[in-house]
Chain A
Amino acid sequence: MALQLTINGISIGAIYALIAVGFAVVFNIMRFSNFAHGGMISACAFISFFFQRAFDPPPPFFVTVLFSAVCGMGIALLIDTLGYRRIRLKNSPKIYYFLMSLTFAILIEQILTVFFGTDIYGFPSVFKSQTFEIGSMIFKTMNIVILAVSVVILVALVWMINKTKIGLAIRAVAINADTSRLMGINSSVIVTVIFIIAGVLAGVSGVFLGVQYGVFPSVGPSMMLKGFIASIIGGLGSLSGAIFAALALGLIEMFLTFFIGATEATVILFGIMLAFLFIRPQGIMGIIVEDKA
């Protein structure tokens, strides 16, 4: 039992990690909390839901994930072009980004509600056998797939940030955008790369959330809060901190839900976040980043 709970918890935590990292990369570079991320996740959940149902037989799951990732990327770039880019060009205060991202988040959720209502659409079953057994233990196939795909994506992302030329440039811009320009780094290229990363992560987490919790307009915003908590606990600014915190959060949530119930578990999670803000506002590994909104 404990092992199954652990696997399930880490699998949920892996989705939170995808969300937390998607949130944190934008924060690190742009210095604002991109709440539109939740809206993007909901949109991608719907997109992948209809994509999966549009074909008979349904496409292989990885095709749906890929399709959703590409759509997430498109939505992120669209939001940047329509909204954030103008703020950037005018050099307006950070609070405008924050307001713009909230506006997009609400707008996307409302558009989805207008078209699809607030009902929960169950994701069609993806695998022939929902579970498999090893010895006496039963695992959900989807949990393992989610865990595996998330690990691959996160490892690839961390590798890219730490080992490649563009990753080094991204870290430099996160530390000091002006000095980075003196290195010949084109900041608009970096911003585009950041939104591509955020969009892909939103797309993938959208499918996973849809599969696990069903598809509804507020699935992204409500789950994004957990990712947000993770990125705060991990230290806004630290990707590995965010990943670590997200996995821990998934685990704690799973055990708390099992032993005391889902509603109480959420209350306790927010309690943990508050405690972190009081005791260690810089998070597990992060440094305090100034001028944020």
Chain B
Amino acid sequence: MNILDITGLRVWYDKIEAIHCVDLKFEEGKITAIIGSNGAGKTTIINAISGMVKRDGQLFYKGKLLTDKSHKVVREGIIQVPEGRRVFAGLTTEENLLLGAYSLENRKEISGLLQQQYALFPRLEERKKQDAGTLSGGEQQMLAIARGLMAKPQVLMLDEPSLGLAPIITNDVFNKITTIREQGITVILVEQNAKKSLSICDHAYVIENGHVVMEGSGDELLHNEKVAHAYLSTTVDEIE
């Protein structure tokens, strides 16, 4: 079943149309990857879902029209982990996590949720009193993901979670993403690292200049000659 169903999505920045009538479907409990080169419109798409930019088109969430107010989108359980982590520097790690749970009505859940995140990312517990701005890049990325999970998301949108991370940490982050899917959370994964994201995703869209130019299962796209050429900077043979 599609938890999120988007038809005819358009986004403008001033007079320039950045997303041109795009249709996207996201299946519940699955990882859907969105790949594409710089400036293709990936971030714009998830910002449109989050209500962070003005948009046109029909967005159905669980069969109902989705609000365009950013704070209400969060309340619906659609959570974005933004590009470049954007942790709150000047607040502690734990305060950042508490902000992730801002939208939860039941404040009693919070200590349990904190424990869950600390179990998933033990490094964060060691550093819970540290200024988030002084965490390393990898730690900040983990914090950003954990902060997203604090909201008890039903849909978690991750914008380039591997950006600027060393290969080992990237692997770690991708492992966590599959763990998140195992918890039943629908994941929308925007990535430059096409190879890794295609290998863990269930379905993927390729975006170019604000259009969907290709879609298919992760495996299909991973073995597609055009994708390999454009996004994997390899040929299919090398992947084999």
Q: Chain A interface: which of B24-32, B85-93, B162-170, B200-208? A: B85-93
B90 touches A175 (CB 8 A): yes
Q: Contact check, A182 vs B95: say whether CB atoms are below 8 A apart.
A: no
- The CA of A184 and the CA of B70, in the complex, are separated in Å by 7
Asked if A183 contacts B52 (CB within 8 A), the reply is no
| B86 pairs with A179, CB closer than 8 A | yes
Tell me which residues across on chain A come within 8 A of B91, comparing CB atoms: 168, 171-172, 175
Which residues on the B side are within 8 Å of A172 (C-beta)? 88, 91, 99
Question: Among the listed B52, B98, B103, B107, which residue makes an inter-chain contact with A184, where contact means beta carbons less than 8 Å apart?
Answer: B103
Quote the shortest CB–CB distance from A281 to chain B (angstroms): 18
Cα distance, A187 to B75, chains bound together (Å): 14
B212: Cβ under 8 A from any A Cβ: no
Query: What is the CA–CA distance of A187 and B50 in the complex, to the nearest angstrom?
Result: 15
Given A172-B88, A175-B88, A182 contacting B82 (CB threshold 8 A): yes
- Residue A185 interfacial (CB < 8 Å): yes
Q: Does A178 contact B (CB under 8 A)?
A: yes
Q: Are B95 and A168 in contact (CB under 8 A)?
A: yes
Within 8 Å CB of B79, what residues of A? Answer: 182
B-facing residues in A167-214 (Cβ within 8 Å): 168-169, 171-172, 175-176, 178-187
| A179 and B82 contacting across the interface, CB-CB below 8 Å | yes
Complexed CA–CA distance, A161 and B98 (Å): 14
**How many chain B residues touch the partner (CB < 8 A)?**
24
A90 at the interface (CB under 8 A from B): no
Given A179-B82, A182-B80, A184-B75: A165 touches B102 (CB 8 Å cut-off): yes
Do B95 and A184 touch (CB < 8 A)? no
**Across-interface contacts of A175 in B (CB, < 8 A):** 88-91
Measured CA separation A152–B160 after assembly (Å): 47
How many residue pairs link A and B with beta carbons under 8 A? The number is: 61
Say whether B99 contacts A169, CB under 8 Å: yes
B84 and chain A: residue at smallest CB distance: A179
A172–chain B nearest beta-carbon distance, Å: 5
Residue among A176, A179, A181 making CB contact with B71, cutoff 8 Å: A181
Is B228 an interface residue, CB under 8 A from the partner?
A: no
Contacts of B69 in A (CB 8 A): 186
B41 within 8 A of A: no
Chain A: interface residue count, which band? 10 to 19
A175: nearest chain-B partner, CB-CB: B88
Q: Are B102's CB and A176's CB within 8 A? A: no
Least CB distance from A176 to B in Å reads 6
Determine whether the beta carbon of A176 is less than 8 Å from that of B74.
no
Q: Which chain A positions have C-beta within 8 A of B151? A: 183-184
B129-144 residues with Cβ-Cβ distance < 8 A to A are none
A183 B74 Cβ-Cβ under 8 A: yes
Q: CA–CA, A183 to B74, complex, Å?
A: 7
Residues of A within 8 A of B147 (CB): 183
Complex interface: chain B residues within 8 A of A180 (CB): 99
A174–B89 alpha-carbon span in the complex (Å): 11
Q: In B96-114, which residues have CB < 8 Å from any A CB? A: 98-100, 102-103, 107
Q: Which B residues are in CB contact (< 8 Å) with A183?
A: 74, 99-100, 102-103, 147, 151
Chain B's nearest CB lies how many Å from the CB of A67? 34
B100's nearest neighbour on chain A, judged by CB, is A183
B residues near A176, Cβ cutoff 8 Å: 86, 88
- Residues of chain B with a CB closer than 8 A to A181's CB: 50, 52, 70-71
Q: Is the CB of B52 within 8 A of A182?
A: yes
Residue-by-residue, is B37-65 near A (CB-CB < 8 Å gives 1, otherwise 0)?
00000000000001010000000000000
Name the B residues within 8 Å of A184 (CB-CB). 70-71, 74-75, 102-103, 151
CB nearest neighbor in A for B86: A179
Selected A-B contacts with CB under 8 Å, 15 pairs: A171-B88, A171-B91, A179-B86, A181-B71, A182-B50, A182-B74, A182-B86, A183-B74, A183-B99, A183-B102, A183-B151, A184-B71, A185-B99, A186-B69, A186-B71
Q: Which 4 A-B pairs have the closest CB atoms?
A: A184-B74, A184-B103, A186-B71, A181-B70
Besides the contacts A168-B95, A171-B91, what 5 more A-B pairs have beta carbons closer than 8 Å? Answer: A171-B90, A176-B86, A179-B88, A181-B52, A182-B82
